[in-house]
Structure 1
Amino acid sequence: MTHPAFYPIGTPGQAWGPAEVAAWRAQLVRQRSYADDVLTVFERLRARFEVLPYGEVLYGSDVYPLFALQSLEWQAGLPGVLVTGGVHGYETSGVHGALDFLDQHAEVYAGRVNLLVAPCVSPWGYERIHRWNFDAIDPNRSFKEPSAAQESAALMRLVAPLLGQFAVHIDLHETTDTDASEFSPAKAARDGVPYTPVHIPDGFYLVDDTENPQPEFQQAIIAAVERVTHIAPSDAQGGLIGSPQFDRGVIRYPLKSLGLCASITGARYTTTTEVYPDSPRATPEQCNAAQAAAVCAAIDFVLAQR
């Protein structure tokens, strides 16, 4: 893959201002419909889950209502499970894997856990197949107070009354070839720093929490997902995407200090999935199924600890 030395917007070495953000935004077009792809599925699921409006994202004339789905009966004493998808709107299987979990698997856990699922946290990015929001801000670096991203702030408000009730939070993501060809160069240009090429792993991997590592939990998810799709092999340095590998298919980030979504509940068991949809060894259906399998494995692990 060819890695560009510069991005066509901005001046090398200078961070973007409003004019550069406007130029970046002007090149984006709506490529798919949040209403058609996501909201219609919510309507199909309404009989089985409580559909919770938790705000809206406002960008000019564009208004995106935000919804989560919750267990019909939230029972005191049951472990809470938060599932988030589409924090990066372009990561398709995060959205549709969460919806597939609700449609095909969640019934098994009724009366055993309290489910809260936000399948598409960033609808503006979903429609434009982009990592950032309207303001060229990465929502998955914005889960901190005060948040610079409307999407992140809304999700934190949704979760706040339930803090202390979650046993697990699984945040569904993808790593794609465009991380190297588009988003990393764009980020370097936006921030006015040199671009460093990244190596994209071919396969599924997980991001554990440096401050609260849970290796057995992570490996239970790896084992379940491996029945659906392949696990990313180590790179030449023995790591993954520039980070040390602590177990097979597992790296660690300091979730809270980076403002990552998986930090917002303070749950004991947290993870961020990373599916690789551009692999010749994986189909979109496999990617969705891998995300759903990861959610099931996370819940099964927590239930086995009780």
Structure 2
Amino acid sequence: MKNNHQYPIGTPGQKWTDVEVAEWRASTQVKRLYGEEVLPKISELSDKFDVVQYGALSYDAARFPLYVLKSKNWNEQKPTVLVTGGVHGYETSGVHGALKFADTQASHYQNDFNLVIAPCISPWGYETINRWNPNAIDPNRSFYADSPSEEAANIMKFVAALNVEIYAHIDLHETTDTDESEFRPALAARDGLEYFEDSVPDGFYTVGNTEKPQPDFQAAVIRSVEKVTHIAPADENNNIIGSPVVQRGVINYPLKKLSLCAGMTDCLYSTTTEVYPDSPKVDAQECNDAQVAAVTGALAFLKAVNR
């Protein structure tokens, strides 16, 4: 459905130039602090993980160091599982769900897997509650060689340097009301396109890989999460955010074609979680718990497969 909403920055039908990007960047505000809400939690996990700095964002290197949590008992004979959060910095439970998993549940799986957890890939986006980075680039459409996104480039470089095959990747995200009220209209304006309104699904869903869908794996994630929060229903066209529902709570995307984070490796198993924090049925703790349940559901499935 076409929407008459006109984004306040730019001229309809014209792509943004550096002028509009600068205007957009000036309109953002710091609303919370990475250094107060995320970095201390990472530091507190140093007794359970090796805390490894893999870079820093040039926007303010001292303010935005980038860290992963890496299994202390690393063994290249074990499968390696990557967990990422905060690729879109505004998606809060992706960040804090990853940290909560690391703190409360990861110990149950470290004998079976090498774990690499990147809890906040986009700290500038975290602070400004934004989908993009300061250059109006979406990190989650930028996972390709010579990426224009520092956020994507830094984590890709680190993962490649591990020099191990990534067996599975769980990428923690949210779908929010602001996707339709702010971020998709901004995207259309940036690219000089018309904005067509879509609906926001009420509930949790996952995005699998069109090329390697692994339906049993996705179903295991859904079964685990539904113990914590509700699963998004399909709309009247049997879609979720415009894509066909392939099984309850699951859609598929061509991850590499879209340059998505969950497609940055050639892993056999991948899933992108989507929590809906704006539902009146949930609170922040439930959203974090849903992300934890998604990771544990995925790992329990993989553990059973590898017996």
Give the TM-score normalised by structure 2: 0.97
Alignment match, 2:139: 139
Q: Identity of counterpart residues, as a percentage?
A: 55
Alignment match, 1:208: 208
Q: Secondary structure at the match of 2:64?
A: strand
Alignment match, 1:224: 224
Task: Write the letter of the residue equivalent to 2:206.
Answer: L
Per-residue CA deviation, residues 232-282 of structure 1 (Å, 9 max, x unaligned), is 001011110111111111111100011100011211000100000000111
Check 1:61–1:172 CA distance in 2 against 1; reply closer, same or farther (3 A cut): closer
Check 1:180–1:107 CA distance in 2 against 1; reply closer, same or farther (3 A cut): same
Q: Secondary structure at the match of 1:9?
A: coil
Quote the Cα distance in structure 2 between the aligned partners of 1:198 and 1:164: 40
Alignment match, 1:100: 100
CA contact (8 A) 2:56 2:62 kept: no
Deviation (angstroms), 1:73 = 1.7
Task: Write the letter of the residue equivalent to 2:202.
Answer: D
Per-residue CA deviation, residues 28-78 of structure 1 (Å, 9 max, x unaligned), is 110001011111011111111000100010116874110000001211211
Alignment match, 2:235: 235
Per-residue CA deviation, residues 194-220 of structure 1 (Å, 9 max, x unaligned), is 001010000000000011111000000
Deviation (angstroms), 1:161 = 2.4
Alignment match, 1:259: 259
List aligned pairs for 1:119-130, cutoff 5 A: 119-130=119-130
Q: Secondary structure at the match of 1:81?
A: strand
CA contact (8 A) 2:86 2:173 kept: yes
Alignment match, 2:118: 118
Check 1:62–1:107 CA distance in 2 against 1; reply closer, same or farther (3 A cut): closer
Q: Does 1:77 align with 2:77?
A: yes
Unaligned runs of 5+ residues in structure 2 are: none
CA contact (8 A) 2:54 2:158 kept: yes
Alignment match, 2:168: 168
Quote the Cα distance in structure 1 between the aligned partners of 2:17 and 2:60: 19
Alignment match, 1:17: 17
Alignment match, 2:294: 294
Alignment match, 2:64: 64
CA contact (8 A) 1:4 1:185 kept: no
Q: Secondary structure at the match of 1:46?
A: helix
Per-residue CA deviation, residues 103-145 of structure 1 (Å, 9 max, x unaligned), is 1101111221100000000000000000000100000000001
Alignment match, 1:194: 194
Alignment match, 2:284: 284
Quote the Cα distance in structure 2 between the aligned partners of 1:4 and 1:181: 12
CA contact (8 A) 1:3 1:181 kept: no
Q: Secondary structure at the match of 1:59?
A: coil
Query: Between Structure 1 and Structure 2, how many residues are aligned?
Result: 305
Q: Secondary structure at the match of 2:256?
A: helix
Deviation (angstroms), 1:164 = 4.5
Task: Write the letter of the residue equivalent to 1:305.
Answer: V
Quote the Cα distance in structure 1 between the aligned partners of 2:61 and 2:111: 42
Task: Write the letter of the residue equivalent to 1:111.
Answer: N
Quote the Cα distance in structure 2 between the aligned partners of 1:85 and 1:277: 15
Q: Secondary structure at the match of 2:58?
A: strand
Alignment match, 2:45: 45
Quote the Cα distance in structure 2 between the aligned partners of 1:60 and 1:123: 10
Deviation (angstroms), 1:163 = 5.1
CA contact (8 A) 2:204 2:231 kept: yes
Q: Secondary structure at the match of 1:116?
A: strand
CA contact (8 A) 2:3 2:195 kept: no
CA contact (8 A) 1:163 1:266 kept: no
Check 1:90–1:217 CA distance in 2 against 1; reply closer, same or farther (3 A cut): same
Check 1:13–1:228 CA distance in 2 against 1; reply closer, same or farther (3 A cut): same
Q: Does 1:27 align with 2:27?
A: yes
Check 1:62–1:250 CA distance in 2 against 1; reply closer, same or farther (3 A cut): same
Q: Secondary structure at the match of 2:57?
A: strand
- Structure 1 residue ranges, 4+ long, deviating more than 4 angstroms after superposition: 60-63
Check 1:4–1:64 CA distance in 2 against 1; reply closer, same or farther (3 A cut): farther
Task: Write the letter of the residue equivalent to 1:112.
Answer: D
Unaligned runs of 5+ residues in structure 1 are: none
